[in-house]
Structure 1
Amino acid sequence: MEFLQWLNTPVFEIFGKPVPWSDFVGNVCAIATVFLALRRNVLSWPVQILGSVLLFSASVSAGLGGNAARQIVIIAAAVWGWTQWKRAREEAGEITIRWATWKERLLLVAVLAVGTAGFGFVLALGGWSWNPYPDAYIFIGSLVAMYAQGRAIVEFWFVWLAVDLVGIPLAIMGGLVFSGIVYGIFFVMVIVGIVDWAKRSRQRVSHPAAPASDVL
């Protein structure tokens, strides 16, 4: 109990808003997760799990029910993604990047739209979030992005981009200013990720036997 209280103890302030240890360290892990994903490093998944545990505590303290629930499901999704990347590396020796098919793209968009509407309704009905539909959008968008990441398709970066555009103002309005700043950092990293993965995907088509030197 004392440890949980310490996690939500402010470590510093930004624009007069306290930043608890859980929000600070959790977001540092989140930045590391994106960097490792950019490098196609399998360690991105366990780092994601650690960050989600910490951000769950931060979200509960900020009254963001959807965001807190998102962290629980993200942990489960990260375990699945971890197994997918480990299997891919064992079978092919690398994480093979590709563009999604149109069928996969339509599925991602449909799940994002229907999931946001459905989960947003649940959050509003239960009074579990002060801004239910944007909160739900981030929740469902994160799951869709992680599914796409687990499948190693380039479009997962575009889904994260869409999540960031909503996550930045929502986090700041919810009092998690540091999280809002981190979302801004994510935005830049996601752009880099799109360019890098798109390039690697083209290289794989041109040189299918080329090895990947930066994957653990």
Structure 2
Amino acid sequence: MSAFDWLNTEAFTAFGQHIMYSDMVGNSVGLIALALGWRRSIWTWPAQFLSGVILVAAYASAQLSGGVGKQLLVIAVAVWGWRQWTSRGTQRAQDGSVAVRFATWKERGFLLAGTAVGTLAVGALFTALPDLSWNPWPDAYIFVGTLAAMVAQARGLVEFWFAWLLVDIVGVPLAFSSGLAFSGLVYVVYLALVLWGLRDWWLRSRQTAPQQRTALEGAPA
């Protein structure tokens, strides 16, 4: 039996739902990645990469092509996020971790506009090609929302957590209705971690702001 075949076998049944290994393992690694992101650890990106690779098998077994596409995008953005956080130009906190901050209004506008336009474009694509997704608009919303969240995370923006909250609102019911019960349960746990992470990044952004002002004041005219 290949690794792909094993991932798509049933691990156990809970509340009438068949839990696949790919769904269970991939989302468990995703939880670890989110916890590492809350701690601002560079290892959040390899964990997100691995989670994406495993969840490709889960969504493929559920015949959710949109979900497969989303995970392929997660894999690509995880590589980009790793490069962003290891870049010498990335601002650091006093403990050496990545500094976090609130987005500027311009950055928020780009994120909101990009998410809206992206959701409309992807939703229209899924609607025109029904084989890609049986539930095109929620799937498109999660697809683009996940991308927006990861981009905000890579830039150290507190809005990353707000984006995940909005994804969770749709992700929980969609996962359960798609037969991916473990994904649905994990989204619920995500919600708790997101609220915790939001509070932590929010407080740390207050520490970053004085550092940014000091750096600007000390810069040569």
Length-normalised TM-score, structure 2 = 0.90
By how many angstroms is 1:126 displaced?
Answer: 0.9
- Alignment equivalent of 2:119, drawn from 116, 119, 132: 116
Aligned to 1:103: 106
- Distance change >3 Å, CA 90–CA 119, structure 1 → 2: closer
Structure 2, gaps ≥5 residues long: 214-221
Superposition deviation, residue 88 in structure 1: 4.8
SS in 1 for 2:18: strand
Post-superposition Cα deviations, 1:127-169, rounded to whole Å, max 9, x if no partner, equal 1111001001100001111111110010011001100110000
Is contact 1:88-1:96 (8 Å) kept?
A: no
Deviation at 1:188, TM superposition (A): 0.9
- Match runs of 1:10-49 below 5 Å: 10-49=10-49
> Is 1:162 aligned to 2:166, yes or no?
yes
Which whole-Å CA distance do the structure 1 matches of 2:202 and 2:6 have between them?
A: 42
Q: Stretches of 4+ moved more than 3 A in 1?
A: 88-93, 206-209
Alignment partner for residue 137 of structure 1, among 141, 145, 165? 141
The answer as to 2:201 corresponding to 1:197 is yes
Q: CA RMSD in A?
A: 1.6
* 5+ residue gaps, structure 1: 210-216
2:68: which partner in 1? 68
Contact 2:90 2:98 survives alignment (8 Å): no
Q: Secondary structure at the match of 1:19?
A: strand
SS of match in other structure, 1:11: strand
Offset of residue 208 of structure 1: 6.2
Q: Which residue of 2 is the match for residue 214 of structure 1?
A: none
Whichever residue aligns with residue 189 of structure 1, its letter is: L
Give the equivalent residue in structure 2 for 1:78: 78
- Structure 1 vs Structure 2: percent identity of aligned residues? 47
Counterparts in 2 of 1:110 and 1:91: CA distance versus 1, 3 Å: closer
Q: Distance in 2 between matches of 1:109 and 1:152?
A: 17
Query: Could you tell me whether the CA contact under 8 Å between 1:88 and 1:95 is conserved in 2?
Result: no
Task: Say if 2:34 and 2:44, in contact at 8 Å, map to a contact too.
Answer: yes
1:50 aligns with 2:54: no
